[in-house]
């Protein structure tokens, strides 16, 4: 949207996709909150943000409020690895500041730090044999992979780092000593050096264990997204806190263990922060949003448009 003044452009961003179950969502107003009928997610993650943006734009238009150029970027496939934002050509954007509404909790929550995230696929190659007639001639890839996994640190490594085995596949039949087995894991850390250290541990443990058992292993690693850290003193934070205070809300700075489109924007050179869109209990059928947060989110978005200098 073209601006009505010489103010700098501003980007508002959210994602359109949701997690499952999401067929035939029926939003219900229940007292002070909006919920689903309990058979699906509500989808306030992240459709609430889109509603806030639309309302803010409508109010700005109706009141003739002065604002700079407005860019709104709504992505798809955020819930499956930020694929929408990864595939978007950010050179099309003119804004240098982006406000991504994709965090939970009351309006006013601002994520100033989010992690680096890598995915590792670990495959073990054993040796097939008849499980009943000559199992001694086989090397069971599943048991080798299981031993590797038990040796790997998992869960909360430290206050900045986590690791998780997500999926395991392997074998072809019960009467065959499993010839192959694969697991996919993720590592996250606010510190890139710590993430790389954990990756090195995975490689070393996998190779040494496989070698001891007479098996072979292969690993492939994908950097899903890079982390970001934003100082509370940066201009984008001042813009956000100024807008919140203008509507009577208190800013709260927090660190997140999850990624969002914000990570991709920062990597592309656009300073971005992740702001709360009010949703609660996301990714569950108990998801809900308070009506006051839906309203406050629209007020916050409107204030951001007015806050740009």
Determine the pLDDT at residue 194: 98
* Same domain membership, residue 241 and residue 213: no
Q: For 264-277, write each residue's pLDDT tens digit.
A: 999 999 999 999 99
- Which of the listed residues 178, 197, 225 is the one where a domain comes to its end? 225
Question: Following CA atoms 255, 261, 265, 271 in sequence, which dihedral angle do they give, to the nearest 10 degrees?
Answer: -40
Q: Is residue 264 part of a domain?
A: yes
Choose the catalytic residue: 78, 102, 160, 199.
78
Residue 249 has pLDDT above 80, yes or no: yes
CA distances from 231 to 203, 238, 246 (A): 34, 10, 21
Q: Is residue 19 part of a domain?
A: yes
Residue 198 has pLDDT above 80, yes or no: yes
Residue 17 has pLDDT above 80, yes or no: yes
CB burial class (10 A; 0-12, 13-18, 19+) of residue 29?
exposed
Helix (H) or strand (E) holding 166: strand 161-170
* Same domain membership, residue 193 and residue 209: yes
Determine the pLDDT at residue 308: 80
* Same domain membership, residue 270 and residue 129: no
Question: What pTM does this model have?
Answer: 0.92
* Whether the Cβ atoms of residue 57 and residue 70 lie closer than 8 Å to each other: yes
Determine the pLDDT at residue 174: 97
* Same domain membership, residue 232 and residue 103: yes
* Same domain membership, residue 133 and residue 109: no
Contacts of 11 (CB under 8 A, 6+ apart): 71, 72, 73, 93, 95, 97, 98, 99, 265, 270, 272
Determine the pLDDT at residue 60: 94
Query: pLDDT band at residue 106, thresholds of 50, 70 and 90?
Result: very high
Query: pLDDT band at residue 180, thresholds of 50, 70 and 90?
Result: very high
* Same domain membership, residue 152 and residue 81: no
Q: For 148-169, write each residue's pLDDT tens digit.
A: 999 999 999 999 999 999 999 9
17 is catalytic: yes
233 is catalytic: no
Residue 5 has pLDDT above 90, yes or no: no
Mean pLDDT of the chain: 97
- Which of the listed residues 225, 253, 270 is the one where a domain comes to its end? 225
Residue 228 has pLDDT above 80, yes or no: yes
Query: pLDDT band at residue 86, thresholds of 50, 70 and 90?
Result: very high
CA angle 39, 44, 45 (to 5 degrees): 100
Q: Is residue 150 part of a domain?
A: yes
Categorise residue 114: left if φ over 0, alpha if ψ from -120 to 50, beta otherwise: beta
- Which of the listed residues 173, 207, 225 is the one where a domain comes to its end? 225
Tally of domains in the chain: 2
Query: By residue range, what is the domain housing residue 149?
Result: 116-225
Q: Is residue 265 part of a domain?
A: yes
Q: Is residue 169 part of a domain?
A: yes
Residue for token digits 């970027």?
73
């Amino acid at each position: 949207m073209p601006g009505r003044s010489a103010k700098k452009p501003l980007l508002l961003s959210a994602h359109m996709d949701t997690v499952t179950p999401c067929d035939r969502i029926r939003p219900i107003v229940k007292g002070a909150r909006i919920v689903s009928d309990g058979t699906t997610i509500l989808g306030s993650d992240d459709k609430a943000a889109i509603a806030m943006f639309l309302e803010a734009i409508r109010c700005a238009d109706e009141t003739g409020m002065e604002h700079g150029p407005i860019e709104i970027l709504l992505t798809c496939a955020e819930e499956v690895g930020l694929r929408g934002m990864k595939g978007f050509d950010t050179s099309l954007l003119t804004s240098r500041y982006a406000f991504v509404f994709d965090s939970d909790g009351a309006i006013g929550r601002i994520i100033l730090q989010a992690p680096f995230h890598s995915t590792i696929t670990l495959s073990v190659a054993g040796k097939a044999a008849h499980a009943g007639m000559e199992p001694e001639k086989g090397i069971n890839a599943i048991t080798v992979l299981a031993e590797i996994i038990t040796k790997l640190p998992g869960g909360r490594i430290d206050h900045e780092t986590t690791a998780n085995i997500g999926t395991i596949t392997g074998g072809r039949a019960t009467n065959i000593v499993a010839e192959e087995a694969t697991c996919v894991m993720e590592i996250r850390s606010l510190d890139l050096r710590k993430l790389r250290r954990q990756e090195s541990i995975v490689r070393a443990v996998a190779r040494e264990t496989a070698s001891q058992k007479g098996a072979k292993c292969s690993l492939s690693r994908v950097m899903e997204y890079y982390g970001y850290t934003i100082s509370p003193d940066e201009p984008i934070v001042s813009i956000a806190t100024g807008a919140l205070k203008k509507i009577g809300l208190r800013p709260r700075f927090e660190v997140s263990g999850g990624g969002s489109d914000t990570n991709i924007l920062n990597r592309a050179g656009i300073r971005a922060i992740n702001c709360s869109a009010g949703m609660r209990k996301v990714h569950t059928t108990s998801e809900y949003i308070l009506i006051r947060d839906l309203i406050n989110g629209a007020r916050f978005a409107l204030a951001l448009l007015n806050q740009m200098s």
